[in-house]
Each structure stands twice: as C-alpha cells, then as structure tokens.
Structure 1
Amino acid sequence: MNRLNNIAIIGGGITGMAAAYYAKQAGAHVTMYESSDRIGGKIKTVYRDGFVLECGPDGYMARKPTLTELITELGLDDDLVRSMTGTSYIYVRNQLRQMPAGSVMGIPTKFWPMVKTDLFTWRGKLRAGMDLVLPRVYTGTDISLDTFFRTRLGSEVVEAMIEPLLSGIYNGTLDDMSIESTFPQFITIEQKTRSLILGMKALTPPVQAGVKPREAGKFLSLQQGLGVLIEALRPSIDRLYTETKVASVRAHEVTLADGTTESFDSIILATSPNALGPILGLQEAEKLSELKRTSSITVLAAFDEKEVAALDGTGYVIAKAEGNALTACSWMHKKWPHMAPKHKALLRVYIGSEYVPDLLAKSDETIAGFALRELRKIQHVGTPIFTKVERHIDTMPQYEVGHKQYVRAFEERLSTLDGVEACGAILHGVGLPDCVDSAKQAVARVMAGQAVSV
C-alpha cells in the first residue's frame, strides 16, 4: 500500500478542485491553499429571481470527454444539459448576417452557401477559393493564426468570420495566437490534405439524401449551474485554507506568506500563471508568469422576453471592423433554456479587450450602461430587470507564438524538482475539460512518483 499520500494543492480553481478529487480517489490526504476568499476560480454561479447566472464559463465542449466523465463519477450526470442550436450570426457591415451553412469554425466546407452569402464580396470569395490550390503554409515552425488563415483564405474571410469566432475563445487577437498551441488540428488537416476547405469537408459527416440532419448542441452544462460541480468536489479536500498566500514551494515543502512551513509527500501547483514564477523561483517558471494575460468584462442582463427582439439562434459575434465595443452577445435563454424563467430573456455581452482597461475601475452601473448602449446599436432591447457585471482580471493566458516551447522548457525544469507537479490553463489548454485533464495527469504523475519512492 502507498504510504506517501500527504498532498498539497496550490490553487482552488477548477484545475485544483479536480486535482483534489483525483488525489482523494487515489487515497491521498489533501490540503488546499487558495489565495482568494472562495474556491471555484472562474466558475461562479449566482441565483437571482429564478435566473441561473453563470458569471464565468457557462458550459464546455461536449467532444472532450474528461469533464463529462468526472461529472458522471460525481453522480451529477442526471443534471447534464446540452446547449440548444439555431441560426448563427455575425454582425458585419452594420447588419446581423447568417453564417454560411457548412462553415466549421469559420472555414467554409460547402460551395453554394459560400457563393450565396452576403458576408463577403466576390473578390473575397474568390480569394478564399485559392485555398484549394495554395501550397502548405505551416512548414514546421510556429506561426500566428492570423498568418496561417490570412495566407490560406484571405483577409475578408479572416476579418468577417474567422477572427470574431476564434479570438473570443482566448480573449485575444489572431496576430498573437500560436497555431501550434491553440488549434494544432488545422496543422494536421493542412499536412494531410493541403487544403483547409477540402480537409474540413472530409471531416464533415455525409448527409443522407432527403434527410435533414438534426444538429446537436456542441456544449454541455449543468441544470443547476456549474457551481454545483465545485460544491460536489469540495468534500475531496481534507484541509482548506482560503485567503492564504503561498510564498514559495520547494521539494516537499510549502512556505506561506506568514513564514509558516509545512512538509508534504507531493505538491501540485494549480495556481494562476502570474504566481508560478514567484512561488518556484525558477527562470522557466518566471517566463510563464511574464507571458501576456488579458482581462475581460462580461455583462449579464435580464429582461422580460417582450423587451428583446425575437431572433432565431443563440447569439452572434461581432466583426472588429464594425467598431463596436462588444465582441459577442449570447442569448442565454435560448442557448440554455434552464437559465431563465418562462417569458424572460437573459443576454450576456462580452466587452472587447481594448476597452476593458479603461472600464475595470468604473462602477458596475457605468459598465452595464456602456454595454447596453453598444448592444442597442445592433439589436433592440428595452429596460433590463437587472444587470450583473463580472470582471476577470489578468485571468486569460495568451498562447502566443512560441508558447509550446516555453511550456516544454518549464516542464523539463520542473521534473528536476522532486515531488512537485504543475497543471492548469497556462499549459496545454484553457477550456474546462483541458483543465480537468491537466489535473488528472498531474495526479497520475504524482502517484506514479510516490509508488517508485516507496
């Protein structure tokens, strides 16, 4: 039997909470240190007037199984709900326009919808068609998403469709984002088929003649809100210290800001990226702490349903060229019907990162008023029942060109520190399933290392 099972976890976001669960399942005694006054990190569910308000992520990609497996193990699978679907829109040239049918992550896979769409000019459409004959863009050296897609499909498709769809995932710009670290699947497709259009088309399931395919929502969430996931994970922690800052971590040793030192068999770092360098004192960790991170502000606004223009679909993204301060608007009551009472509407708007620095210190009322004014430039909304403003400060790591190499150097250096592992969004993926998968792997490495030590 493994006797080395006293584990410290630094950080109480979804990654740390998942690590606590997997460590407890492996028989460990778990101590968690969290610098803020609450656990859950970006996940935060608020209940008000019958609304379920997700102040952070509202769901996760269904195709990534690790989080669904965890939810099932916790006995919450009966609470799982799948997102609704509908027409997808992009606000471009002062109008909400439908996404061409067959587009996958902004990449066209069908001929006639692309020909008929009013999203692009004929010149833009012809330029996108050059993808069918162009040589491969990726040659083994990391490049930005902007360089990759603009070279393959042209500026119009990038600016009107791909940039609004993809940049919101990382709250950044395509100019900065590394294709190797964000969407390596496009590299694989290009290497196999050379053409993105042909490659994505090959991945799209064939449609049976005369049968209209039933589109399934691509996201999953929990009926009671993702906050219940955090509460279900809480019992995995034997000792929880909130509002407790860790000053440093060395092999088998945690030192708190007040000078208190405690020894552990293993330590798992699931902290924010900016804390890695100061805690570890390693050059490679300092590099990750210095990498660009962005802040964001979201505004949730509840309405009587009649106060919101009735549109099919679950929301829209906004092309940057429109000059609107918002990047997207989700009709949460249509995407997730459980989030709003009957005859009510719930909208969530995302403020563009370039506007965020000036707004962070403003009052909630000022921010909400600003967001509503920008929203009304696009669609009709009346007076909200209430609004909820949520600030996420320096929370989103940017996977810039070269990110994969920085992470590899950090992990190689960390492997020399006995009994210390790291996991989280800074490493191999920012989505909730990515974070859970990262935690599961970190615990597996810890337990394997402990077994060797016994």
Structure 2
Amino acid sequence: MTEHQKVIIIGAGISGLATACYMKQKLPKVQITVLEASDRIGGKIKTIHRDGFIIECGPEGFLTRKPALTQLIKAIGLNNQLVHSGAGANYIYVNKQLRKMPKGSVMGVPTKLLPMATTSLISPFGKIRALMDLLIPHVYHGQDLSLRTFFEKRLGTEVVSNMIEPLLSGIYSGSLSDMSLEATLPQFAAIEKKHRSLILGMKSLRSPKMADTPKKSTGQFLSLSCGLQGLVERLASYPDDIKLNTPVASIQSGQVTLGNGEVLNADAIILAASPKQYGPLLDFPEAWSLTHDKRTSTATVAFAFKKEDVGAFDGNGYVVAREEGLHITACSFMNHKWAFAAPENHVLIRTYVGTADDSSIVEKSDAEIEQIALADLRTIIKLGTPLFSVITRQVDNMPQYTVNHNQRIQAFEDALTKIDGVFACGALLHGVGLPDCAATALHTAEQAATYLQAKTAIDF
C-alpha cells in the first residue's frame, strides 16, 4: 500500500519542495525525504529581513500571467500574502541617458508604430530598419535559431542592441548569441510563422483598447509581503524529513548513494538538483550533455538608503545597454515595485552585475563589488552613502537555454525513462521562472504518483 512507499527528492530548492508538496497532496501516506547538499533550503530563493527592509537575494517575484505558482500559493494557504507589483515605468540606459521604454513594446519588440516612431532609443535609420519587418520574409523555418539571429534579421541590430538585448540578457542572464528561440521565446516563432511580420503579429494579439478602460494601477508581477522565503518555509512542512548537508554521489533505480557511502532505498527518486549534478548523479550521456551545457555566474547587490540620499526617479527600474561599458546590467527600485520592501522614508535599490560574456566581477570581494556597483549607479542617478549592502552570488548556477535546448532536454527525458522509478524537474528543463518550476514540479509529481500507484497495483 502507498503508506509503505518511500520517495527521495534530491534538492531542496523551489522545484524539489514544490514536488514534495504536490506528492503529498496526491498520495498523503507516501513517506518523502528531501536530501540537500547545502546547509539551507530554498535554492536561489533567500529573503533577508534587516532594519525594516525585506531584501530578496534571489527571485523577487513572478509573472501573474503564468498561473502555476499562484495556484500553489493559494493551495498552501499563503494567498493573504500575495501582493501585486507597482505599475511604474521602466527605462533603458542608452547613449548616457535613461530613456523610457516605448509603450506597447513586448520584450523590446515594438507593437505600436507611433511610440516606436517617437522614441529616442532608436535612431531614424534604426527605426526605418525595424519597419522592414513589415516586408521581410520568414526567418524561422522550423529549425532553432539564436535570439540574436532571429531578431537582428527581423528588426535590425540597433533595436536588438538598444532594446531587446538589455531586457532579455537581464531576464535570462545570458547572451542572445547563444539563447534558443524555441526554448526561451517560442511565442515569437509562432507569431512569425502565422503572421510573418512580428510587428503585425504582435499588434493582432492586443485586445482593442476601450475608451473607458482605467489605467492599470498594478504591475505584471506578484510576490509575497512576507518575502518569498515564506513560500519555501511553508513548502518545507510537506516532506516527512529534510536532511541538510547531505550530498548525493549517485542514483540508480531504487537506490540513492550518499557522499559518505550510505545507501538509501526508495520506491521513487526525483532529481531536483543543480544542472551540474545531472551527469555525476545519473551517469549517462544525455545527462552529462546537460551538465556540460553553458551556465553563467551573476551577483546582485542590494543597497539600503535614506530617501533623502537618493535622487528623484519615477520608475521601477532600468536595464543597461552593453555598449555603455558599465559593470551593472540592471537596477530595480525595490520599494517602488514592492511597497513592503523598505520602511517609510527609505529606499531599497537592487542592482545586477556579471554577464554571460564576463563574470569576472563575481569573483571579486564584497567590498570591491559594492564599490564598482555603486560607482556605476552614480553615473546614472544621484546617490549618497548607503546604510548597508547585501551581496549575493550565483556561481556557475544559472542554466542557459542555448540553441537546440529543447532537443537536448527531450533526449535526456527519453533516456531517463529507461531508469525505472527515477524522475527529474527543475529550472534546467522547461523554464527558469518560479511559475515554470512549479508547473514542472506538478508534472513530475503526477508522473511519480502514477508510477507509485501502478507499482502498488502490481505488488498486490
């Protein structure tokens, strides 16, 4: 019977803990043990509460249009903590000046002609080149392309350099020259396939604007007023046991071998660890391929200020074009996006350093990173002396969806089915955002639950 069945989940990040929660909802009597190599749960999610500031060291929120995580949060009783982001303007720092993103642009792709015609982000020649999208034939022909190849052929290099690249590089911590169209932005491939022109295709997706439609007062993101660590802590109540500082050496059907040589038996095993662990733990070619795939290193620096020490800024944040030569890639005014992030009359600014092409800054000391980031920020806006800073590094831990990523994932998942009772989930597979991780965790939990139920039927 299922109460005697044991499940081992490797990894106590959002994917592993969400999978444990879903498994308990489906099979309450199954015994679940989570093994975590580090000394803490949560993976990239980490919230620090300090002097009235709520500082997210990893993800700060998640998209409202992807429902999986919102549904999970409501299911575990945290819906009273859900908060929408503020609907502030966003900017791009180009040619030594902050310039507002044109209205109607999606991931930097223009959908409205008038805002595109009047923006200072693009030169007259760049605008004419972008409009050639209306005439250019199909670029995507069913074979994966890099985002740079796709968007430069459709919209030109200037739109890519000044609008698309700063946005997407910040979101995915990667290089457009490597990033897969099919894996990261398949909707644009679908739009081009149907409409040929991205501008016309994106325009057709917009619902007609009603004259009496009020202006949105909230943004497109959600978070938790208690901090996202609250989600981790609630999810951690679902497994029967969580073992920290417990690295795993290998996995095979029905068995997990720990780093100290101890062998644990299980009816089902779920791998929710870092991509770098796939090859060593599973030891088949498709798993090693994913381990050897590109990953990047980045760091975030959160600065706490008194409000009087920060120059006026009316938006939620900005991204920085690569040509500006700065070390920072983006900046968020956290208390503009999230009112709970800073106490009254204070400001919390979070900036990002390190790129797919140059992550050397991440290896510097905290003091050096703080000095470099603060100097860059001060070239854009007036800043005084911060009250304190919090620096967080993600070293060799940001998975990159490079060209043909979907094909490599499919090959891996096909190979994994040959190992009885072993499953996998995580940001490496089907989306790096928190809602993507929750959706993949749900799918994996359903697979494992179906397997255990079938195994029970055979045993009895």
Shared fold (TM-score greater than 0.5)? yes
Q: What is the distance in 2 between the residues matched to 1:418 and 1:335?
A: 46
Q: What is the distance in 1 between the residues matched to 2:110 and 2:79?
A: 35
SS at match of 1:201: helix
Structure 2 gaps of 5+ residues are: none
Q: What one-letter code is carried by the residue in structure 1 that aligns with 2:129?
A: R
Q: What one-letter code is carried by the residue in structure 2 that aligns with 1:23?
A: M
Q: What is the distance in 2 between the residues matched to 1:2 and 1:256?
A: 25
**Does 2:80 match 1:55?**
no
Q: What is the distance in 2 between the residues matched to 1:66 and 1:96?
A: 35
SS at match of 1:435: helix
Aligned residues: 454
SS at match of 1:175: coil
Aligned partner of 1:17 in structure 2 is 17
Structure 1 position 374, deviation (Å): 1.0
Q: What is the distance in 2 between the residues matched to 1:387 and 1:355?
A: 25
**Does 2:418 match 1:410?**
no
Q: What is the distance in 2 between the residues matched to 1:126 and 1:156?
A: 11
Aligned partner of 1:287 in structure 2 is 289
Q: Residues 28-427 of structure 1: matches in 2 within 5 Å?
A: 28-209=30-211, 211=213, 213-214=215-216, 216-353=218-355, 357-427=359-429
Preserved contact between residue 333 and residue 350 of structure 2 (Cα < 8 Å): yes
Q: What is the distance in 2 between the residues matched to 1:371 and 1:447?
A: 47
CA shift digits 1:118-176 (9 cap, x unpaired)? 11111100100011111111001100000000000001100000000111111011000
CA shift digits 1:347-366 (9 cap, x unpaired)? 00011326864333432122
Q: What TM-score results when the alignment is normalised by the length of structure 1?
A: 0.98
Preserved contact between residue 296 and residue 356 of structure 1 (Cα < 8 Å): no
Q: What is the distance in 2 between the residues matched to 1:355 and 1:161?
A: 18
CA shift digits 1:179-214 (9 cap, x unpaired)? 011010101111111111111111122212365532
Structure 1 position 216, deviation (Å): 3.4
Q: What one-letter code is carried by the residue in structure 2 that aligns with 1:169?
A: I
Structure 1 position 313, deviation (Å): 1.1
Q: What is the distance in 1 between the residues matched to 2:392 and 2:57?
A: 6
SS at match of 1:360: helix
Q: What one-letter code is carried by the residue in structure 1 that aligns with 2:78?
A: L
Q: Which runs of 4+ in 1 moved over 2 A?
A: 1-5, 209-216, 354-363
Q: What one-letter code is carried by the residue in structure 2 that aligns with 1:255?
A: T
Q: Rate the CA distance shift 1:4–1:133 in 2: closer, same or farther, 3 A.
A: farther
Aligned partner of 1:432 in structure 2 is 434
Q: What is the distance in 2 between the residues matched to 1:357 and 1:179?
A: 23
Q: What one-letter code is carried by the residue in structure 2 that aligns with 1:334?
A: H
Q: What one-letter code is carried by the residue in structure 1 that aligns with 2:10?
A: I
SS at match of 2:167: helix
Deviating more after overlay: 212-221 vs 70-79: 212-221
Q: Rate the CA distance shift 1:285–1:189 in 2: closer, same or farther, 3 A.
A: same
Q: What is the distance in 1 between the residues matched to 2:5 and 2:199?
A: 51
Q: What is the distance in 1 between the residues matched to 2:354 and 2:275?
A: 22
Preserved contact between residue 62 and residue 220 of structure 1 (Cα < 8 Å): yes
SS at match of 1:236: coil
Structure 1 position 59, deviation (Å): 0.3
Q: Over the residues paired in the alignment, what is the CA RMSD in angstroms?
A: 1.3
Preserved contact between residue 60 and residue 433 of structure 1 (Cα < 8 Å): yes
Q: What is the distance in 1 between the residues matched to 2:233 and 2:453?
A: 30
Deviating more after overlay: 185-194 vs 360-369: 360-369
Deviating more after overlay: 333-342 vs 349-358: 349-358
SS at match of 1:217: strand
Q: Rate the CA distance shift 1:292–1:355 in 2: closer, same or farther, 3 A.
A: closer
Preserved contact between residue 297 and residue 356 of structure 1 (Cα < 8 Å): no
Structure 1 gaps of 5+ residues are: none
